[in-house]
Amino acid sequence: MTALEGVKVICVGQFYFAPYCSMLMARLGADVIKVEALNGEPYRRSPAVDKDGESIQFRFVNSGKRTMRLDLKKPEGQDVLRRLAGQADVLVQNLAPGAMDRFGLGYDSLREVNPRLIMASGTGFGSFGPYAGEPAMDLTIQARTAVMSTTGFEDGVPVRTGPSVVDFMAGTHLVAGVLAALYQRSSTGRGQHVEVSLQDAVLPALTSNIAGYLNSSGPSPERTGNRHGGMSVAPYNAYEAADGWVTLLCPTDAHWGRLCGLMDEPDAKDPRFDGVAGRCAEMDEVDEIVGRWTRTHTKESLAAILKDANIPCAPVVTLPELLDDPHVRARGVLRTVTDEQGAFETLGSPLFLSDSPIVEPTRPGKLGEHTDSVLRGELGMSEEEISALREAAVI
């Protein structure tokens, strides 16, 4: 059986935060119903589409879910969601701050109809604190949380990270909270409200940067480029190769000793470089020595040489190289799935459980595709009741 077999999840969310959280639960076997506004969530209208005109972003985090349209601004729509929550195990949401409460669908209201319900709320800044209730997106959290001020080079402008690290880190934290709440419910019989904020989820990733700042005796650069965020490891950088770039680092003296043996660079034997602190004090010179050596090799040959010497390293790959990477394909987190409509790309799962198979992703439903079947199957509504909701523009 799958890990979450029999678990019913409602996702009232858009973009990446809540949808990724509920997608992970779908891969673990939960039955996930995605609730969208009548015109669908914004990522359905993304210009990044495949050959069939389907949004790639939407599909990546929503495949494997049933989909329904519901107008939560209308009392009838609120009643439908309340009834669905009455049968659900988990409700995941990342609507605008306060929206669920304004709809009469906050946790205090929903637990009255289902004391076992676990409500998972993804927020920008949480439910308390000076910024509570402020809207937020990945970019604005990166700005507010020093991610941008610590990304890029010292003499450059602040830079956002390439990937949407905040949304996906927060989604992962949120699913961890949900799984913990499900485990606790098995003992107490009670659900609870799980809250994860985007800001809180990204703060732990700044550990090295904060440590470097607190340990500095004077001004220290916030943006360290490709160097260690705390400026406490050297060499630690991306170095030019004959055909691209390679990353390598020497966290210990033993690693540095093995690297010196490979490089055969007389300058590397300078006693100033004996010890991590000494190398960190002379980072520019250390990087110059290492760079002279790496420029004489291709990035793949460097990766092989350094791997054999047990020195942490990796070639800097491009997106096309990543998508063709045999290890990435073997792991199946990025995967090609074939169905009756043909092949499509989507996300698998980064979670591997030895006794719980991962559910193979399927295409996400078309906008509102499963509305009628959900209302019939989950709530036992008649065709007349469904028609009345449609005529009232609730579904």
Q: Name the residues annotated as catalytic.
A: 167
Gyration radius from the chain CA atoms: 25
- Which DSSP category does 15 fall into? S
Around 12, how many Cα atoms within 13 Å sit in the side-chain half-sphere?
27
Distance CA 369, CA 352 (A): 30
What is the identity of the amino acid at 343?
Answer: A
* Residue in the block written with tokens 């966290």: 251
DSSP-H helix ranges across 126-268:
138-144, 165-188, 198-202, 207-215, 253-263
Q: Name the β-bridge partners of 246.
A: 239, 315
Count other C-beta atoms under 10 Å from residue 151's C-beta: 21
> If we measure between CA atoms, which residue out of 11, 14, 116 comes closest to residue 64?
11
Helices 75-87 and 371-379: crossing angle in degrees, nearest 10, is: 60
SS3 209: helix
Amino acid at 279: R
CA 321, distance to chain mean position in Å, is: 21
